[in-house]
Every structure is written in structure tokens, then in C-alpha cells.
Amino acid sequence: DPMEESKMDDAVYGSELLPKESSGPVALSVNRAKQLISLYTMVQNPNMTHLKISELIVLPPLWIRCDGSDPEHTYWLGAEPLKAGNKITGINFYMVTCDGPTADKTHFANLEELKMAHKKKHHSSIVMTKGFAQYELIRAAAIEDTIVESESNISVDITWNTVDKVLETPPLISAATLNIALESGDPRSPVYQLYRELQFLLALAEGLKTGVTEWPEPLESESAVELVREFLTGNCCLLDGDRGTSHFTEIKGNSTYNFKSIRDLNKLVSVSSYQELIECFALIIKSLEHGEIQPWIHQGSSSLLSKLIQQSYHGKIEVISLSGITPIQMLLEIGLDKMKKDYVSFFIGQELATLTYLDYFISTSVDLQEQVHRVQKLHHMLEIMVSCTVLLQFKHENLFPLTQICMKYYKENPLNEKHVFQLPIRPALVKKFYQNDHPEIWKVDISSVHGQKEAKTTWQVSTNPPVEHMTSNNTGLFSDSTVNGSSEERMYFITMAQCSQVHFT
């Protein structure tokens, strides 16, 4: 009852619980947190008969943020019931402390000392150790001698049993998982031109929804009308993305991709206004009506222009009003057809997927907006495959399972360039990228088994704060490393997580 507490205690308690600017639960002092943990333990202890609790209820685990103001710099205290069936038999207590950042290795723990402390605390004669390390790979990989800097992140998580010393490099027999979070649109990417075309289609799709289209900077210096007129008077007979499809060179050794956009779309991409687009389509339709061109159309195309082309084979074309959103829709359909063929050409050409497996992404049975959304997914997957090939020198044996993982995700989920795709790999595949680098995270778990229960001590170093509510004077100096993480020293936060148990019976 707060009325029974002193006014001073009330004042302290009140100030601790005042909402702060930062989100999330307020960090309390360790003393206040310990009081709450004690109350939490007492109300679940069957031996506390004087509390006259008629029926004991097993409470959910309790975790309390602490402000780190104590000498050990405690940032979390936790408590969790130990149960035998539905009966509570005790409480597991957890304490997480953190210090740093520091590059002074004299602050780092000695593994043998950590193991001895664990044995003494938990009265165990045998302990097991398990290591974990995370390395960033995209920072350590260069494209055209420049370091990739973006929201994108490719890292590898490595776990292994039996740790010999703190900060040891993981052995090659470890288990490893590649984590890939990649944002499209890096100007240095071999598929950047394709990305620009996709942005144009997105602008058209948005224009269909809002009625306002923002025309991008033309890709050609010559006007679109002149380009289309030259195209029509020449011998090229394709408007629909069948002949002249984007060409992808075979990947051999360290060669990169060569993406040549077909000229057809580029001529129309060069339009700088709505009026210019109308003029371009008027020229094309006029040529069709007069039989001056007989373009091929690829199977499965359902665009409005495809229908006009089919009609032209029989010498009669229905009249289309080039007004309103119709020209925008026609250009968007042409662009979608062309880009779908680009992506299909890549995934099938590299033997990463079959046409049947790609059907979901290129289907014309859904509306145009959904087709655009699915083409965005295709482009994101393409960026991932190209990045893993160019940056990490992945071969087909690694790209194929990664493609399957990405396609499975995107058949079930909307576009999400922040999603982390995970691929199990052998550490040897990426070892050259991390073997001389400092880890972003390195930790060791020391555990011992006590009947059916496990006691664990964790010691960890990390370049970023392990808890989000660390005070500002302890954060901000994440790393003093140079490019490629090749500096001699790395600033680390040092974290320790320990547990202890109290049994009621």
C-alpha cells in the first residue's frame, strides 16, 4: 500500500515511474527492481502462509528494465517460475549486466575463470561451452573497389560446440546461417538500369490510381516521338517484348551480369509528357491500321496493345480513344510484359527456377496493380541473387536454394525489403570475408545440467549496445574500425547474463 510508505520513498517511486521521452517500460533502479522481484517470488511461494493467499497462481515470467546505475551496471533483472506439472517448485532468477564500450582487452573475461565461477555458483563439476559469432560480410566485400554503404546488410551467424578461448575464430566444422537484408536501387548494382525502369513503371501505376503521373527524366536525348517514328520506319517489328529480349551473359568465374534493355520500351520510356505519349501511340496504331508493321506478340500477353496487334493480323482494328488513363495503362502493360520477360530470362537462364514456379510472379490473371507488386518482388529477388554473386562469389549450388527460399516467402508475403532471408551454409563458403575481421557479436554460453534443469552463464561482446535503454553516456562509440573492419582494435560492449535458482521445497 503506497500510503504506508514514507513520503520520500513515494517521491522516488513516483519519479522512477514517470513516463520518459523514449518508448518502452521505464528503467528502474536495481533496488526497486529487486523489491518487485521479491514480491513476485513471495506471492508464488506456498510457504508464505501468512499472506493468506487462498489459491496460488503461477504468474508469467517477469522482466524488469534497470537503469545500470549500480556498480555492476545491471540493465535487466528477470524471474521465471520453475514448475513440476502445474505445481510451482521455485523461481529462476536472471541478471544481465553490461559495460562499455571499450577496446581494452584487459576488461575481457578469461574463459577458464568464467567456467570456474559457474561451477562454484551452481555446484557442478562438468560444464559445456557453446560459441556464437556474427560477422558482417557486406562491409567486408567490395564492388568496383568501393565499399557498399546502404541499409542493406549481409551477415553470417556461426555456432559451434566446445569453445577454447574468448574471441576465438569459429572452426570450419561450425554451423552457419547467412542473413540477407537487401534494399534495391544501389547505383553500383549491375541491375541498376533495370531498377530505373521499374521505378518508371511504379510511377505509371501510381498515376493510374491518383490520376497524376510524374514523368521521369528521359533516358534518351532525342524526343520519344522521333524515336518511335524511326523505330516504325525501320525493320524492327516488335513492341511486345518477345524479340530483342534483355540479354543476360552467362556467369563464368568472376564475370558479372550484362543487362541490355530492349530498345522498344526505352523509346516509350523517353516520353516526357502525357501529350507526347498520346502522339507515340497514335503513330503506332496508325502503322498497324495501314499494315506497315506486323509485330510479333508473345504467348500469354493480354495487354490492350497485344489485342490491337492481333486484330491487325485480320486487317481490322477497333477504335481506341487515346484519352484519360488509357495511354498510361497501355504503356504500363507494355512495360510489365517487357520486365517480366527480363526476370524470367534471368531465373530460367541461370537455372534457378522453372517457368511453372515463376507463374505466380508473371500471372496476368490479377489486376495491373497486383502485377506491378509481383514484379517488384521479382526485382528484389534478382537484386539478392546478383549481390550474392558479385559480392560473395556464390555459385549455382548456393543461389538455387536461396532462390527457393525467397520465392516461397514472396508467394506468401507482401514486398518487404527489410525482411531477413536466411540460408544455411558451410562456413568455408564465406570464411575469406571474415577470417581477418572482427566479429560484430561474439559470445560463449557456459551451461551445466542439474536433473531436468539447465543453468547457464553467457558472456558476450558486441559492437552495438545489447540493450536499447542503456544511458546515452555509455553509447555512441560503436566502433573505431576502418573500412573492411580491418583496424587493430574494435570497441565492444561487454555483457554478462547469469542465472540462479531458489527452490521452495
pLDDT of the residue at 231: 74
pTM (2 d.p.): 0.79
* Bridge partner list, 102: 492
pLDDT of the residue at 270: 65
When pLDDT is averaged across residues 248-252 and rounded to a whole number, the result is 38
Cell for 337?
A: 510484359
**pLDDT of 17 above 50:** no
Q: Distance between CA 358 and CA 347 in Å, rounded?
A: 9
Residue whose cell numbers read 504468474: 59
More confident of the two residues 178 and 188: 178
More confident of the two residues 151 and 97: 97
Q: Which of 45-49, 265-269, 284-288, 425-429 has the highest mean pLDDT?
A: 425-429
Angle subtended at Cα 421 by Cα 482 and Cα 343, rounded to the nearest 5 degrees: 105
When pLDDT is averaged across residues 184-203 and rounded to a whole number, the result is 90
When pLDDT is averaged across residues 372-385 and rounded to a whole number, the result is 96
CA atoms within 13 A of residue 15's CA, in its CB half-sphere: 6
| Amino acid at the residue 477 | L
When pLDDT is averaged across residues 72-82 and rounded to a whole number, the result is 93
CA atoms within 13 A of residue 173's CA, in its CB half-sphere: 3
Q: How far lies 399's CA from each of 345, 352, 385, 409, in Å?
A: 16, 7, 7, 15
More confident of the two residues 500 and 224: 500
pLDDT of the residue at 269: 58
More confident of the two residues 47 and 375: 375
Q: How confident is the model at residue 471 (pLDDT cuts 50, 70, 90)?
A: low
* Strand 146-147 to 142-143 pairing: antiparallel
**pLDDT of 255 above 50:** no
Q: Distance between CA 65 and CA 14 in Å, rounded?
A: 16
Q: Distance between CA 268 and CA 265 in Å, rounded?
A: 5
Q: How confident is the model at residue 268 (pLDDT cuts 50, 70, 90)?
A: low
Of the listed ranges 17-31, 237-251, 469-483, the one predicted with least confidence: 237-251
**pLDDT of 253 above 60:** no
**pLDDT of 237 above 80:** no
Angle subtended at Cα 190 by Cα 184 and Cα 193, rounded to the nearest 5 degrees: 70
pLDDT of the residue at 220: 60
Of the listed ranges 35-49, 244-258, 307-321, the one predicted with least confidence: 244-258
In degrees and rounded to multiples of 5, residue 488 shows phi and psi of -75, -30
SS3 131: strand
pLDDT of the residue at 149: 53
pLDDT of the residue at 330: 87
Residue whose cell numbers read 522512477: 16
Q: Among 134, 59, 64, 67, which Cα is nearest to 98's?
A: 67
SS3 11: helix
pLDDT of the residue at 31: 95
Q: Distance between CA 504 and CA 56 in Å, rounded?
A: 13
pLDDT of the residue at 210: 83
- 28 close to 65: Cβ distance less than 8 angstroms: yes
Q: How confident is the model at residue 489 (pLDDT cuts 50, 70, 90)?
A: confident
Q: How confident is the model at residue 402 (pLDDT cuts 50, 70, 90)?
A: very high
When pLDDT is averaged across residues 152-179 and rounded to a whole number, the result is 94
**pLDDT of 257 above 80:** no
**pLDDT of 146 above 80:** no
Q: Distance between CA 278 and CA 284 in Å, rounded?
A: 10
